[in-house]
């Protein structure tokens, strides 16, 4: 909240966001304790939700805010996974350290491929990212030291002896496999919370305003001094880093990797796009809603084989036709509720004095000016 000399101030927080913040803190605390009471299967489901949420939030930042529609995010997932395996199998590093190195490796891949894909626009950019992912997949499939086209597995001792596994096992009486699942789950939780926090902070910053300006009208943004290329490049690299971290973490938990699985366009891009589309692109809340809906649909329809994918496609089409802004966008449009508000509202100011010339409709009117769409007025002093 920023005070102004005239008695007005800029505010982004709403009542709904304040209540949600308390609920979110309580939820995170319960989630941290989940390994103590949840079954191993439930913990793995939660791990899946959190990692898909991170991938969805990352793609949403890339496409929904920077306007870079990529269908090649599997390149960073797979490259991060393979970089982690290379560090563990060839360099003998601890898997947790290898995860961080994998994030850096994915960023370096983004630096190299960015020279190519940023020359493309629109649909050509999307196709270009897919081509890059395929080139990386085919290249790594030739790496015999990591299993070639059939893939390879982490040795049992690599995960059993990784940093923190023994301590967690002793403290909570977990078996080695359960201790590893617990550490991976906690890391996924930290990554999900950190990703959402980073995106929210970014959108509320001056860089976030520049990002919104570039998304809405790139030429107009350039005319007022916004470096569109720089903003998009920063987002592209940041998303690559987070996606690489996520890919490495996923394959620490899986303990096996192959080119077809690690670079699956269905698992790491199509599903992610579906999550963002049905939840609501261009909002932080959208991917959260979308990943929950996706998990429910997956658990309900997974036994129906190819019909499962058909139903997902039909649901996606229906949502995009009747709720173009997604389920959360439809809900927010009708209620005005925003859990992660980024629009700035100008509130406060002197009261409106009632007089004979003041229309009855303006007497006692709320003293709020909106500096963003769908901002809700509140009365002075509220």
| Res. 293: pLDDT tops 90 | yes
For the chain, state the CA radius of gyration. 23
Q: What is the pLDDT of residues 19-52, one digit of tens each?
A: 999 999 999 999 999 999 998 889 999 999 999 9
Nearest Cα to 340, choosing from 7, 65, 114, 52? Answer: 65
Nearest Cα to 49, choosing from 377, 289, 278? Answer: 289
Tell me, what's the pLDDT at 369? 46
| Conformational region of residue 225, where left means phi above 0, alpha means psi within -120 to 50, and beta covers everything else | left
| Res. 135: pLDDT tops 90 | yes
| Res. 10: pLDDT tops 70 | no
| Res. 176: pLDDT tops 50 | yes
Nearest Cα to 247, choosing from 232, 234, 233, 264? Answer: 264
Transcribe 280-343 into DSSP letters: -TT-SHHHHHHHHHHHHHHHHHGGGTHHHHHHHHHHHHHHHHH-TTHHHHHHHHHH---SS--S
Tell me, what's the pLDDT at 279? 95
Tell me, what's the pLDDT at 352? 54
| Res. 84: pLDDT tops 90 | yes
Quick check: 281 and 60 in contact, CB under 8 A? yes
Mean per-residue pLDDT for 160-189? 92
| Conformational region of residue 198, where left means phi above 0, alpha means psi within -120 to 50, and beta covers everything else | alpha
Half-sphere exposure of 31 (CA within 13 A, CB side): 21
Q: CB under 8 Å to 234, separation ≥6 — which residues? A: 207
Tell me, what's the pLDDT at 348? 65
Tell me, what's the pLDDT at 20? 92
pLDDT band at 307 (very low <50, low <70, confident <90, very high): confident
| Res. 361: pLDDT tops 90 | no
CB atoms < 10 A from the CB of 213, how many? 19
Q: CB under 8 Å to 155, separation ≥6 — which residues? A: 89
| Res. 350: pLDDT tops 80 | no
State the DSSP code for 372: S
* pTM listed for this prediction: 0.87
Helix (H, G, I), strand (E, B) or coil at 263: coil
Tell me, what's the pLDDT at 201? 93
Mean pLDDT lowest for which of 79-83, 260-264, 329-333, 345-349?
A: 345-349
């Amino acid at each position: 909240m920023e005070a102004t000399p005239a008695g007005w101030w800029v505010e982004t927080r709403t009542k709904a966001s304040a209540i949600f913040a308390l609920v979110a803190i309580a939820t995170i605390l319960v989630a941290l304790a989940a390994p103590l009471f949840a079954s191993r299967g439930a913990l793995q489901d939660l791990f899946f939700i959190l990692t898909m949420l991170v991938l969805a939030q990352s793609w949403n930042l890339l496409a929904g805010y920077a306007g870079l529609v990529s269908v090649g995010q599997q390149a960073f997932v797979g490259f991060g996974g393979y970089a982690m395996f290379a560090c563990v199998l060839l360099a003998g590093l601890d898997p947790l350290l290898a995860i961080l190195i994998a994030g850096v490796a994915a960023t370096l891949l983004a630096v190299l491929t960015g020279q190519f894909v940023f020359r493309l626009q629109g649909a050509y950019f999307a196709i270009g990212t897919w081509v890059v992912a395929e080139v990386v997949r085919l290249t790594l499939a030739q790496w015999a030291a990591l299993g070639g086209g059939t893939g390879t597995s982490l040795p049992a001792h690599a995960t059993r002896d990784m940093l923190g596994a023994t301590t967690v096992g002793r403290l909570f009486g977990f078996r080695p496999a359960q201790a590893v699942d617990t550490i991976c789950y906690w890391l996924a939780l930290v990554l999900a919370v950190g990703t959402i926090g980073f995106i929210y902070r970014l959108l509320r910053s001056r860089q976030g305003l520049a990002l919104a300006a570039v998304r809405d009208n790139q030429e107009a943004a350039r005319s007022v001094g916004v470096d569109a290329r720089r903003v998009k490049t920063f987002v592209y690299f940041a998303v690559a880093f987070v996606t690489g971290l996520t890919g490495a973490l996923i394959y620490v938990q899986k303990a096996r990797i192959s080119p077809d699985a690690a670079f699956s366009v269905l698992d790491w891009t199509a599903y992610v796009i579906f999550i963002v589309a049905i939840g609501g692109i261009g909002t932080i809340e959208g991917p959260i809603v979308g990943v929950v809906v996706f998990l429910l649909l997956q658990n309900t329809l997974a036994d129906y084989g190819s019909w499962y994918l058909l139903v997902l496609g039909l649901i996606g089409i229906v949502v995009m036709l009747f709720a173009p802004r997604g389920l959360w966008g439809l809900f927010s449009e009708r209620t005005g509720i925003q859990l992660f508000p980024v629009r700035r509202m100008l509130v406060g100011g002197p009261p409106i004095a009632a007089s004979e010339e003041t229309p009855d409709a303006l007497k006692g009117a709320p003293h709020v000016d909106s500096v963003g769409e769908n901002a809700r007025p509140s009365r002075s002093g509220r």
